[in-house]
């Protein structure tokens, strides 16, 4: 997004909030739709009491641990599957069968095995976010020009050197495409795994669930806004890391 579009986006958000506020002040929309002023002051109260941060922290812990696992396992296994043909063939049927499953359906099963715990949630988030990263990495390795590998071999590089110095950097643009999808999914599943199942502990999804039970839509808006903010922020961070690592690549997202 260039500067001009950013300006337009800012104007649009302000106009939308103004319309929302106006409709709420004139009482043209039902009271449960709250108003920006009420949501804002509620958010401020939660920030001051620190409640928002403790909830956000435990949500973030779940999604970031899973994302770390996805990054490590997805990239390592993806490169192995792309580079060594037998490994690729071994994993292909698992990917074909498991990838289209809505992983959220596994939540009740995992809940019985591991309890309503962080293990369950982290595992579920990991299972969802793993496949985009794995598939993108594997595609990226397949897309590396054979000439590069031959050149490295010619100059006496070992297998490990080829993987580390040629294959990994050359497939990084694709890997980042996959990671971006995975990151988005971790936040979706973070919210879903907290929403479904009983409500105990901390987390932004729980905040929504509790607010829902109490009929406090203003609190729901606060948590939704915070989840959106976190999703947006971490996407930006990933894009910044990508721009730094891939300064040589043409398409920097």
Partner 1 sequence: MKKGWKFLIEYQSLIWIVVAWELVVFLQIMPERLFPSLSKVLVVAFELITTGMLLENLPITLFRVFAGFALAAVVGVPLGLLMSRSKLLNDLVQPIFSLGFPIPRVALYPILVFILGLGSASKITMIFLECLFPIVLNTYYGSTRVGKLYLWAAQNMGANRSQVFWRVLLPATMPSIFTGLKIALPMAFIIAILTEMIGATAGMGYLLTYMSASLMQEKVLACVVLITLVGYLLNLLIQKIQRKYVFWQ
Task: Give the nearer residue to partner 1 in terms of CB position, either 156 or 215.
Answer: 215
Choose which of 5, 48, 147, 155 interacts with partner 1 (CB under 8 A).
5
Residues 115-174 that bind partner 1 (CB under 8 A): none
* Residue 50 in the binding site for partner 1 (CB under 8 A): no
Phi/psi of residue 2, nearest 5 degrees: -85, 180
The SS3 of residue 21 is helix
Phi/psi of residue 103, nearest 5 degrees: -60, -25
Residues 63-92 that bind partner 1 (CB under 8 A): 89-92
* Residue 9 in the binding site for partner 1 (CB under 8 A): yes
Choose which of 80, 129, 135, 208 interacts with partner 1 (CB under 8 A).
208
Note whether 25 and 35 are within 8 A (CB).
yes
The distance from CA 180 to its chain's CA centroid, rounded to whole angstroms, is 7
What's the CA gap between 209 and 199, in Å, rounded? 7
The distance from CA 214 to its chain's CA centroid, rounded to whole angstroms, is 29
- Which residues bind to partner 1, rule: CB under 8 A? 1, 4-6, 8-9, 12, 32-33, 89-94, 97, 100-102, 104-109, 111-113, 180, 183-184, 187-188, 190-192, 195-196, 208-209, 212, 217, 220-221, 223-224, 227-228, 231-232, 234-236
């Amino acid at each position: 997004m260039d500067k001009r579009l950013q300006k337009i986006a800012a104007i649009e958000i302000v106009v939308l909030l103004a319309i929302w506020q106006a409709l709420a002040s004139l009482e043209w929309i039902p009271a449960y739709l709250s108003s920006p002023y009420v949501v804002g002051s509620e958010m401020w109260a939660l920030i001051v009491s620190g409640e928002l941060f403790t909830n956000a922290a435990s949500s973030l812990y779940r999604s970031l641990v899973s994302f770390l696992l996805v990054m490590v396992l997805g990239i390592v296994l993806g490169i192995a599957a792309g580079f060594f043909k037998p490994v690729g063939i071994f994993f292909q049927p698992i990917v074909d069968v498991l990838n289209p499953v809505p992983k959220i359906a596994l939540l009740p099963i995992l809940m019985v095995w591991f309890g309503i715990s962080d293990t369950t949630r982290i595992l579920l988030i990991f299972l969802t976010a793993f496949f985009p990263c794995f598939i993108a990495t594997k595609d990226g390795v397949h897309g590396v020009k054979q000439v590069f590998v031959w050149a490295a071999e010619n100059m006496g590089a070992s297998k490990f050197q080829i993987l580390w110095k040629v294959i990994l950097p050359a497939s990084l643009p694709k890997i980042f495409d996959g990671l971006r999808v995975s990151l988005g999914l971790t936040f979706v599943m973070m919210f879903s795994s907290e929403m479904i199942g009983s409500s105990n502990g901390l987390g932004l999804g729980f905040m929504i669930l509790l607010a829902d039970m109490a009929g406090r839509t203003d609190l729901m808006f606060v948590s939704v806004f915070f989840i959106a903010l976190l999703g947006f922020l971490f996407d930006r961070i990933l894009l910044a890391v990508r721009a730094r690592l891939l300064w040589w690549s043409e398409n920097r997202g």
